[in-house]
Amino acid sequence: MIVSPIDYRYGRKEVKEIFSEEGRLKYLLMVESEISNTEAKLAIIPESAAKEISKKANIEYVKLEKVKEIESEINHDIMAMVKELSNVSGDAGKYVHLGATSNDINDTATALQLKDFLIYLEEDFSKLENTLYSLAKSHKETPMIGRTHGQHALPITFGLKVSVYLSEIMRHHERLIEAKKRILVGKFMGAVGTGAALGKKTMEVQEKLMESLGLGIEEGPTQIVNRDRYVEYVSVIAGIATSLEKFATEIRNLQRPEIDEVQEPFDQEKQVGSSTMAQKMNPVISENVCSLARIIRGFLTPMHESAILWHERDLTNSAAERFIIPYVSILIDDIMLKTNYVFSNLKVNKEKMLKNLMMNDLIMGEAYIMYLVSRGYSRQDAHEIVRKSSMEARKNQTRLIDEVRKITNLNVPEANPLDYIGNSMEIVDSILEKYQIHLKKYH
Between the CA of residue 108 and those of 37, 99, 100, 239, what are the distances in Å? 16, 15, 11, 25
The one catalytic residue in 4, 138, 212, 274 is 274
The residues, ordered by sequence, that sit 6+ positions from 113 with a Cβ below 8 Å of its Cβ are: 18, 19, 23, 24, 27, 325
- In sequence order, what E strands does 120-227 have? 143-148, 151-157, 185-186, 216-217
What is the rounded distance in angstroms from the CA atom of residue 348 to the CA atom of residue 144? 11
List the alpha helices (DSSP H) in 346-423: 350-357, 365-374, 379-396, 400-408
Contact 287, 293 (CB under 8 A): no
Q: Identify any residues that bridge with 185 across adjacent strands, giving them in sequence order.
A: 216
Give yes or no: 274 in active site: yes
Q: What is the distance between the alpha carbons of residues 267 and 364, in angstroms, rounded to a whole number?
A: 39
Helix axes 21-41, 47-56, angle to 10 degrees: 170
| Residue 246 backbone dihedrals phi, psi, to 5 degrees | -60, -45
- Cβ neighbours of residue 416 under 8 Å, at least 6 residues apart? none
Whole-number Cα distances in Å, 125 to 132, 142, 184, 315, 384: 10, 25, 19, 34, 47
φ/ψ (deg, to 5) at 194: -100, -15
Candidate list 72, 149, 275, 374, residue with the active-site label: 149
> What is each CA distance from 67 to 62, 102, 403, 415, in whole angstroms?
7, 15, 81, 75
What residues have CB less than 8 Å from 210, skipping those under 6 apart? 108, 185, 186, 188, 216, 217
Name the phi and psi angles at 152, rounded to 5.
-60, 135
Identify whether 149 is a catalytic site residue: yes
Residue pair 251/348 in contact by the 8 Å Cβ criterion: no
The contacts of residue 78 (CB under 8 Å, 6+ apart) are 28, 102, 105, 106
Determine the Cα–Cα distance for residues 179 and 128; give it in Å rounded to an integer.
20
Strand partners, 216: 185
The identity of residue 8, as a single letter, is Y
Catalytic residues: 149, 274
